[in-house]
Amino acid sequence: MPPMPQDPDVWLFDLDNTLYPARCNLFAQIDVRIGRYIAERLGVSPEEARVVQKKYWREHGTSMRGMMSLHGVDPRQYLAYVHDIDYSPVPAAPALDAALAALPGRKLIFTAGDVAHAEKVMERLGVARHFEAIFDIAAGDWWPKPHRQIYETLVKLHNVDPARAAFADDISVNLKPAADMGMRTVWVRTHESVARAADSDLSHIDHQTDDLATWLTDWVATRSQR
């Protein structure tokens, strides 16, 4: 593994499908809850709700943003509803816990979910103790990644020097603003994210892995040998 030009002193981690394996498939549950929320709120059939859900996702970046803009939905209430799911598919992650413990520097969660969702996931994983803060979608004024403004808000709020930071995410386009700001980038690949990135320009990605815990462990080992 090639070393980073300068060791990061801040590590930013996406949550969903990055800290835990995509096979946990939490989003399948969330997706159902989103459709149900839209159907109940708008008084439409499940089939019509599905069309609305995808339309708002395409046009507004998230279905939530569309519901906020066009229907006056309270985002906190929306998120509480869609995250009312079974978290038991997320297993304890002792390898990730050990890797984070050995990783030098500050560590923050950078998620498009909310704090409550992140806390439940980290409790299941057993890694909450490693993170000093959670920068959630509320902290970014309800804008999702990859809007550049929320990355800028994060670095200002948490006193992060992008040139001394690294960001890991499963969605390749979410890494582009971070790279543009000078961060090192780690793409945590999943079957879905690789398919979505087909034919995309990936020149902004510095490192790729299919297993975050293994990659972090290897990075720490490489660093210690320098």
Q: Is residue 4 part of a domain?
A: no
Predicted pLDDT of residue 195: 80
| 58 and 117 both lie in a single domain | no
Q: State pTM to two decimals.
A: 0.93
Question: Do residues 70 and 165 share a domain?
Answer: no
My answer on whether 74 and 165 are in the same domain is: no
Cβ atoms of 61 and 147 closer than 8 Å: yes
Contact 114, 137 (CB under 8 A): yes
Whether residue 120 is found in the same domain as residue 218: yes
Q: Give the pLDDT score at 226.
A: 63
Q: What is the pLDDT along the chain (226 residues), one digit of tens a residue?
A: 444 557 899 999 999 999 999 999 999 999 999 999 999 999 999 999 999 999 999 999 899 999 999 999 999 999 999 999 999 999 999 999 999 999 999 999 999 999 999 999 999 999 999 999 999 999 999 999 999 999 999 999 999 999 999 999 999 999 999 999 999 999 999 888 878 887 788 999 999 999 999 999 999 998 877 6
Statement to judge: residues 75 and 114 lie in one domain: no
- pLDDT value at position 196? 82
**Same domain as 128, residue 55:** no
| 153 and 208 part of one domain | yes
- Predicted local distance difference test score (pLDDT) of residue 52: 97
Domain boundary among 82, 100, 117: 82
Range of the structural domain that residue 41 is part of: 26-82
Residue 5 lies in a domain: no
pLDDT of residue 91: 97
Tell me if 2 is assigned to some domain. no
Give the per-residue pLDDT at 224: 73
Token couple for 83: 């995250």
Alpha helices for 26-93 (secondary structure H): 26-42, 46-60, 63-71, 75-82
Which residue, 38, 59, 82, sits at the end of a domain? 82
pLDDT at site 5? 53
Looking at residue 187, which CATH number applies to its domain? 3.40.50.1000
- CATH (domain of 47): 1.10.150.450
- Residues 171, 194: Cα–Cα separation, whole Å: 8
Structure confidence at residue 9 (pLDDT): 96
The total of structural domains in the chain comes to 2
Which pLDDT belongs to residue 21? 94
Domain check: are 31 and 123 in the same one? no
Domain final residue pick, 82, 101, 127: 82
